[in-house]
Structure 1
Amino acid sequence: MPEYASLSRAELARALESLDSTPLAADELKRLLRELQRHQLELEMQNRELQETQHALEESRGRYVDLYDFAPMACVSLDGRACIRELNLNGASLLRRERPHLLGQPFAPFVEPRDQGRFLQHVRQCLLGEMLSTELTLRVGKDRLLVRLHSAPFDGGEPHGHLCRTALLDITEQRQMQLRLSLTERLATVGTLAAGVAHEINNPLTFVLGSLQLAARRLMNPSGSAEQETDALLKHLGDARVGAERIQNIVRDLGTFSHPDERPPEPIDVRQVLELSVRMALGELRHRARLVREYGPVPGVLADGSRLGQVFLNLLVNAAQAIPEGHADQHEIRLRTWAEERMVCVEIQDTGHGIPAELLDRVFDPFFTTKAVGKGVGLGLSISHGLVKALGGELSVESEVGRGSVFRVRLPMAPALSTASSPPSRQEVPRRGRLLIVDDEPLLAQTLELLLEPQHDVTVLHDARDALEHLRNGTAYDAILCDLMMAEMTGEQFYDELSRTAPEHTFRIIFMTGGAFTQKARDFLARVPNARLQKPFQQEQLDKLLARLLR
């Protein structure tokens, strides 16, 4: 019998055709031989087809493995116990372990503890047939990575059964970039308002200085009775105090928008936040339009006042810049608040130039702006849209060229809180105590000493190292007023050193800060329980804190 294994597929087909054309032999043996030859050729052809199919499958599988292993994102397949069954090279790199050591291991230990319940629920829902996404934090060594999970169910066959196939995108840098852009836009907005804020400060500052000059003049050249002079001095000093308090409020409002720290959401009144934003934007608003308020009663919303204030500030500045300067009597910016369907609504309407209909769909896109060069980079509305969405609300716009625009913020109402009132606390008068002031600003320390000396025994030291030595020597104080930011030794360093050498004094420290402190200082204040005073502060605030330590 001929050997056919070495023939090509085409040669086998031609051999089969030639066999069919051979005349039938009378001999039965020749007939059987032809049948066997036919079957052998058919089997060889089928075998060749199977080999070609297997080769194609192997090539396809190889391409799939390459695509999977070298995919630009981390990929992992998890079974019903959330154990790793498949993992590509990027996945192993993300987890910073060798792939063989990860296969079969549970994935949960890599998930931040507070996110583990959400992670396991995500896997369960995927195995039940859902395609879903979520964000959570991974613990990889000493690092924390923010990742977005995109998962889909997959039949892994024997022995794994149904799997949750997940792509992990590391969005840590992306989120940090978003935060930096958010801060940049916020500071750019504050920069835009700097001239207006300076105007707001210069007005009260002028009559603060004037009132102090008048008081000094009355002291040097008295012209009436002692009682008249005393009344005049008290009036001038009272005016100076009112002006100083106005400056204090302006600076505090400015700090609300410049601090990048995250605060836990709390129930707030949108009207108060809107008014704070109006005060910040007044320099932009006053020369362009009349301000009309239509504030209806609204319940609180659960939000961070700083972030929500940034949204309102961006919308107010946009409204102002849509109106030409110098025609304030012809234009208005109308502010409205109302509640509907469990939502709190805030509307900012202007009579500016409006937005063309073909551009309305793009106003919330990053870096899109219709303003002139130097008036913004096109991030304000995009960031505002993201902040409102993160609060579970929505930001929308209606506009008509030549008639103006309406920006509308809708936020969910805060959950109802118990209104049970507690009895008013009795005002405590602090007993006379021994106080230590640690501040490298001599004039501020001297002022505090003069304010506190009538009620307390006060010691002032301008160097934190001297204060440490003073306390190590056994001198006891009821309270220690310490500046947070000092040149030679910071308040944080003073606290840490005191914790090592005389820890019994640390709880008596009250930190004082002017607000312009670093992220490191903010982190420090977040981890220690000590009271703190924001400069400038009133003596009443200080007395309340001292009362707690002097009981």
Structure 2
Amino acid sequence: MADETASSPKDAMASFEELQLEVSALLVRASVAELDRHIELAFGRVAAAFDLDRIAMWQLVGAQAYRMTHSWLAAGMAPALDDLSADGFPFIKATVLEQQQPFMVSDPSECPAEAAAEQAHYEREKLQAVLVIPLVVSGPVVGALSFASRSRRIEWTDDLVRRLSILGQLFGNLVGRQRADEALAQSEERFRKMAELLPTIVAELALDGTLTYINQLGQKTFGFSAADLEGGIKAIGELIHPDDRARAQRNIAEVLRGGRHETHEYRGLTKDGKALQLVVRSSAIMQDGQVTGVRSAVDDVTEQKQLRASLAQADRLASMGALAAGVAHEINNPLTYVLYNVETTTSQIGSLVPSQLRLAGAGATSSDAAQPVTQSFLDEIGCQLEDAAEGARRIRDVIKDLMTFSHVDDIGVTPVSINDTVSGAADLLSNEIQFRARLVKDFGPLPKLMANAGKLSQVFLNLLLNAAQAIDEGDVEGNEIRIRTATEGSDIVVEISDTGRGIAPAHLPQVFEPFFTTKAVGMGSGLGLTICHNIVTGYQGDIQVESKEGEGSRFVLRLPSSTGDAQAQADDRPTVEPTMRGRFLVVDDEPQICAAFRRVLSGH
């Protein structure tokens, strides 16, 4: 190393650059447990290279105090001051810690008059030369570094101060890193304490999906212990239901790529296999501009889902009560002429037997009451059977609509025709509507929606029943219930409007609240619109109401279509008749059904 002092430094290193690399390696590679020892080793390398007897480092602790944290001492040297910011050293405090300028003396006698306290201290310590430089990280001073010699005078040239300042910056960066790590640790500790107080599950995942933290509520909910966590839990693999894992992995990968917030619903699994319903809100964990993991807030909504299901069941039962008379009427009417036509046709066909025997010359007598087989006779039987079939189809449609309405508890989703579903709900309520208003169906072409048909049927039935009950009987032509369906952008829109009593402005903000109703006692539970709102928003949809008292109401539903125009067109594709032939095995506990299938399939 170049000779830049009155007494040349030893050539302990081949060059200053090699010294930089060695010091940097000692500091960067040190683990937390080895850090103190590596700092002292680095001090020793610098002291050997520049023939120094003491190097000390002070770090800012709290708001004002600069405490000595590390030092290297040659044999016989006294330790440095514990507190560099003490009032006894005002000049160093002002120059180094406040003005961020180096303080240097090659001989204590050279100290300025303002540094009398420092001069007296150096003379007591028998120091020949002292250099104190500030450690600055991103603006503020975070500490100071002192280089001292007892054995010789050192001329602190600009180049020497520059080199020691460069080395000092390596230690300053270390101090900055330590302070950042401490701040992060304190932040994490505050986060952990806060997470334990929250009424929600808080969890963190590493980049590979391993659970790195879950608060006490999460451990209790999922049934895992601290020991389980230490063994490593793959959150996606062990806490999420197998059917939802692939979707969860895709969503977490999306969070890691974009660093944005995501909210999703999954089915979870406890340690003993119990199913949970979870709402998970996730965001990326960022550190130094890099994504290091995922943090999630998880709400266990299992009980809420069960409560909603119970409320929906209660509302459905109430609706069934309102439907009972109308459904009985809708079934009884066609059933009457089904039975009449079938019984009449059976009697008429029975009279054909003697006639057929007479025509065959089998000995029938003239006293046989035979029905002549004419074309008009056959036409009449055909009409009777067609009327019976039409009545049976009407009964079948009523039963199908009832079954759709009753399947609200199914958790599966299928492609649903909105037009068919709302039309079916209207058919179930035809007895409620027909004496109150005209029913107008203004249906546009719609794509299929991936949903639960029973839930949507309950929504439409509740809205139509409310519309009907808002209109008094007696003026059918003067009142109207209109159903309009259309697409707007990617949304499916369903509007149900009526010309009934309307809703008072003061009541409009409350219509979707549980148990709110303006109907007479016994006419409603106050749950219908709440359940409509829950079902629609559960499909990421929206439901709004407009109303004028005395003029009527209009409910507008918007449901995002998960398919596209291709699905809407799929309904119009021609049906391809199958060309394969095979055998059918029909199994049913009703013999008449098996017999009907046998007759239908015979000859094919």
Same fold, TM exceeding 0.5? yes
TM-aligned CA distance change 1:161 to 1:279, over 3 Å: closer
Q: Does 1:445 align with 2:575?
A: no
Corresponding residue of 1:125: 255
Aligned residue for 2:483, secondary structure, equals strand
Corresponding residue of 2:232: 105
**Is the CA contact 2:206–2:293 (under 8 Å) kept in the aligned structure 1?**
yes
Corresponding residue of 1:385: 533
Aligned residue for 1:398, secondary structure, equals strand
Per-residue CA distance 1:241-284 (angstroms, 9 max, x = gap): 3222221221122111112323423162x333222121111011
Which amino acid in structure 2 is aligned with residue 352 of structure 1? G
Corresponding residue of 1:225: 372
Aligned residue for 2:436, secondary structure, equals coil
Per-residue CA distance 1:132-170 (angstroms, 9 max, x = gap): 54332323232222222345677899xx99665544322
Aligned counterparts of 2:519 and 2:582: Cα–Cα separation in 1: 57
Aligned counterparts of 2:222 and 2:454: Cα–Cα separation in 1: 36
Q: Does 1:207 align with 2:356?
A: no
Corresponding residue of 1:264: 413
Which amino acid in structure 1 is aligned with residue 499 of structure 2? T
Aligned counterparts of 2:304 and 2:558: Cα–Cα separation in 1: 27
Aligned residue for 2:566, secondary structure, equals coil
Which amino acid in structure 1 is aligned with residue 384 of structure 2? H
Per-residue CA distance 1:306-354 (angstroms, 9 max, x = gap): 3322222111111001111233233211222333333332221111111
**Is the CA contact 2:447–2:564 (under 8 Å) kept in the aligned structure 1?**
no
Q: Does 1:95 align with 2:222?
A: yes
Aligned counterparts of 2:377 and 2:483: Cα–Cα separation in 1: 47
Per-residue CA distance 1:200-247 (angstroms, 9 max, x = gap): 111111112222343355446967523355544443333323222221
Per-residue CA distance 1:411-470 (angstroms, 9 max, x = gap): 334313286967833566667x8x67563xxxx415634763xxxxxxxxxxxxxxxxxx
Aligned counterparts of 1:334 and 1:286: Cα–Cα separation in 2: 13
Corresponding residue of 2:305: 175
Aligned residue for 1:193, secondary structure, equals helix
Corresponding residue of 2:131: none
The alpha carbon displacement at 1:68 in A equals 5.1
The alpha carbon displacement at 1:172 in A equals 1.7
TM-aligned CA distance change 1:369 to 1:428, over 3 Å: same
Aligned counterparts of 1:430 and 1:201: Cα–Cα separation in 2: 36
Aligned residue for 1:329, secondary structure, equals coil
Which amino acid in structure 1 is aligned with residue 338 of structure 2? V
Which amino acid in structure 2 is aligned with residue 225 of structure 1? P
Which amino acid in structure 2 is aligned with residue 96 of structure 1? G
Matches within 5 A, 1:140-219: 140=270, 141-151=272-282, 164-215=294-345, 218=348, 219=350
TM-aligned CA distance change 1:103 to 1:366, over 3 Å: farther
Aligned counterparts of 1:395 and 1:148: Cα–Cα separation in 2: 22
Aligned counterparts of 2:380 and 2:465: Cα–Cα separation in 1: 42
Aligned counterparts of 1:231 and 1:80: Cα–Cα separation in 2: 77
What is the TM-score when the length of structure 1 is the normalising length?
Answer: 0.61
Aligned residue for 2:482, secondary structure, equals strand
Corresponding residue of 1:74: 201
Corresponding residue of 2:577: 425
TM-aligned CA distance change 1:286 to 1:411, over 3 Å: same
RMSD: 4.0
Per-residue CA distance 1:104-157 (angstroms, 9 max, x = gap): 724333233454455455487389865554332323232222222345677899
**How many pairs align?**
393
Aligned counterparts of 2:595 and 2:247: Cα–Cα separation in 1: 54
**Is the CA contact 1:277–1:309 (under 8 Å) kept in the aligned structure 2?**
yes
Matches within 5 A, 1:481-520: none
**Is the CA contact 1:70–1:88 (under 8 Å) kept in the aligned structure 2?**
no
Corresponding residue of 2:564: 415
Aligned residue for 1:385, secondary structure, equals helix
Corresponding residue of 1:372: 520
Per-residue CA distance 1:507-537 (angstroms, 9 max, x = gap): xxxxxxxxxxxxxxxxxxxxxxxxxxxxxxx
Aligned residue for 1:367, secondary structure, equals coil
Q: What stretches of structure 1 of length at least 5 have no aligned partner?
A: 1-31, 33-60, 453-538
Aligned counterparts of 2:214 and 2:565: Cα–Cα separation in 1: 47
Aligned counterparts of 2:258 and 2:575: Cα–Cα separation in 1: 53
The alpha carbon displacement at 1:377 in A equals 1.5
Choose which of 287, 305, 322 in structure 1 pairs with 2:470: 322
Corresponding residue of 1:400: 548
Over alpha carbons, which structure has the higher Rg?
A: 2
Aligned counterparts of 1:294 and 1:256: Cα–Cα separation in 2: 22
Which amino acid in structure 1 is aligned with residue 489 of structure 2? E
Choose which of 134, 142, 153 in structure 1 pairs with 2:264: 134
Which amino acid in structure 2 is aligned with residue 402 of structure 1? G
**Is the CA contact 2:462–2:529 (under 8 Å) kept in the aligned structure 1?**
yes
**Is the CA contact 2:277–2:300 (under 8 Å) kept in the aligned structure 1?**
yes
Choose which of 331, 334, 359 in structure 1 pairs with 2:482: 334
Aligned counterparts of 2:504 and 2:314: Cα–Cα separation in 1: 28
Aligned counterparts of 2:212 and 2:414: Cα–Cα separation in 1: 40
TM-aligned CA distance change 1:105 to 1:343, over 3 Å: same
TM-aligned CA distance change 1:447 to 1:276, over 3 Å: closer
Aligned counterparts of 2:294 and 2:483: Cα–Cα separation in 1: 50
**Is the CA contact 2:421–2:453 (under 8 Å) kept in the aligned structure 1?**
yes
**Is the CA contact 2:334–2:392 (under 8 Å) kept in the aligned structure 1?**
yes
Aligned counterparts of 2:257 and 2:581: Cα–Cα separation in 1: 64
Choose which of 395, 400, 409 in structure 2 pairs with 1:252: 400
Aligned counterparts of 2:332 and 2:574: Cα–Cα separation in 1: 42
The alpha carbon displacement at 1:76 in A equals 3.1
**Is the CA contact 1:87–1:99 (under 8 Å) kept in the aligned structure 2?**
no
Which amino acid in structure 1 is aligned with residue 275 of structure 2? R
> What is the percentage of aligned positions where both structures have the same residue?
34
Q: What stretches of structure 2 of length at least 5 have no aligned partner?
A: 1-116, 118-187, 352-367
TM-aligned CA distance change 1:231 to 1:133, over 3 Å: closer
Which amino acid in structure 1 is aligned with residue 504 of structure 2? P
The alpha carbon displacement at 1:187 in A equals 3.4
Choose which of 363, 382, 385 in structure 1 pairs with 2:511: 363
Aligned counterparts of 1:236 and 1:79: Cα–Cα separation in 2: 73
Most deviating of 239-248 and 250-259:
239-248
Aligned counterparts of 2:312 and 2:195: Cα–Cα separation in 1: 36
Aligned counterparts of 1:64 and 1:148: Cα–Cα separation in 2: 21
